[in-house]
Homo-oligomer: A and B are copies of this chain.
Amino acid sequence: MAVTLADVARRSGTSTAVVSYVMNNGPRPVAPATRERVLAAAAELGYRPNRIARALRAGTTGVVGLVLADASNPYFAALARSIERALDRRDTLMMTGNAGYRPDRQQHLVERFLAAQVDGLVVVSADGGGDVAAEAVEAGVRSVYVHHRPVPGKAPLVSADNDAAVRAAVEHLRGHGHRRIAFLSGPHDAGPVAERRDAWHRLVSSAGLEPLLLRCDYSRDAAARLTAELIAGGTMPGALIAATDEQAIGVLAAASAAGLAVPARLALISCDGTPDSAYTAPALSVTEQPLDDMAERAVALLLDREPPNASLPAARLVPRRSCGCDA
């Protein structure tokens, strides 16, 4: 059915070797006249090299596996796109799998990807889950965690500097005159969220302010329910830093439903900086993660012989309406 090297060779009156040399500007030269004949034959027949065969022979597939916690989450979706662009620059394809926050699914995906002989593995997981990359590393497949790494974790981690970002957020809210600055974290935070919480706790405590720590699941729904309870109970603080945009959007929805004015009665900043955050009502103030840089770094670590070791730019503060700014 499909056109093979042998077909092109027959048509052009040469051998498969010569055709291969022409196709890859191969390791050996080919006479100009022959090259022409081969190219003409390939074009006529509509020859398309079979990457599976090449992969078997070469031991490298040009495909990287991406294990994603949840592509429906705009933060992970944006990260996935950045990774895709970084891979595309290296002419590498991407297999994707959503683990849906479930460790067993993560494991399952890793095994499927290894069987498919991926050249590398990128794991973007939320909190929780074991060292899924370990199996890949043992099998000799380069792997990298992005955003979060389990402990212990056998593969390197690429993540942004959350400390500086949270510092900027806290200082910004204090600049708006707030003294009760709460933090909304995850249920069992770890990784970047824990870093953010730590940074907040340190800053608020050392300023002599009371650190009010809230926790809920990383879903809009959970954050909305929590917010509704706090408002009903009259214990809503005047300023809040949400660990993730998703949670902040849930907070915003519940505040709107309960008639609590943002930013007048509640100043809000969240820490992802997804594209969505610019289109909430009011627009969310955020600390924006340098996703493109993180992705480029991660992919370089996987595929390039000499990965860059420049440090990652920190997340930066993007003030919009929800913190009390006009913009």
Query: Interface of A with B (CB < 8 Å)?
Result: 1-2, 46, 48-53, 55-56, 61, 63, 71-72, 74, 77-78, 80-81, 84, 93-98, 111-117, 139-140, 220-221, 224, 249-250, 252-253, 255-257, 275-276, 278-283, 321
Which B residues touch A115, using CB under 8 A? 48-51
Which B residues touch A279, using CB under 8 A? 220-221, 224, 249-250, 252-253
Whether B224 lies near A252 (C-beta < 8 A) is no
Which B residues touch A78, using CB under 8 A? 72
Interface pairs A-B: 4 shortest CB-CB:
A256-B281, A220-B279, A96-B96, A253-B279
A contacts with B: majority SS:
helix
23 contacts between A and B (CB under 8 A): A1-B140, A2-B139, A46-B139, A48-B115, A49-B115, A51-B115, A51-B116, A52-B55, A52-B116, A72-B78, A72-B81, A74-B74, A84-B97, A94-B95, A94-B96, A95-B95, A95-B96, A249-B279, A250-B279, A252-B281, A253-B283, A255-B281, A256-B281
Starting from the known contacts A72-B81, A253-B283, A257-B281, 19 additional A-B residue pairs (CB-CB under 8 Å) come to: A48-B111, A48-B139, A51-B115, A51-B117, A52-B116, A52-B117, A63-B95, A72-B78, A84-B96, A93-B116, A94-B95, A94-B97, A220-B278, A221-B279, A224-B279, A253-B279, A256-B281, A276-B276, A281-B281
